[in-house]
Amino acid sequence: MNNNLWVIEARKTDGTLDLSGRQPEQVFGMKAITGIADDEMAKKIYYFIPYDIALRGDQIAQWPSLIDDRWVARRKTW
């Protein structure tokens, strides 16, 4: 098991899955579901956000929200 993989999900403010609108796999590919490494996630974010941003390692779970405020990442544990 690779503990350095992240799953990206669209969530409503109450924490439930949000299946409406654009989904993370449309930007990050199927790795949003199967697991994406933090470096690969950062490269995609920099591609979609062309201005200079700081991606801090202690905030990886919030990185996808820079593209869509409903998106969050969580560690893949399975």
Query: CB neighbours (10 Å) of residue 49?
Result: 12
List, for the chain, all residue ranges whose pLDDT scores fall below the cut of 70. Answer: 1-3
Category of 29 on φ-ψ map: left (φ > 0), alpha (ψ -120 to 50) or beta: left
Domains of the chain, residue spans: 5-75
Which pLDDT tens digit goes with each residue over 3-13? 689 999 999 99
**Prediction pTM value:** 0.86
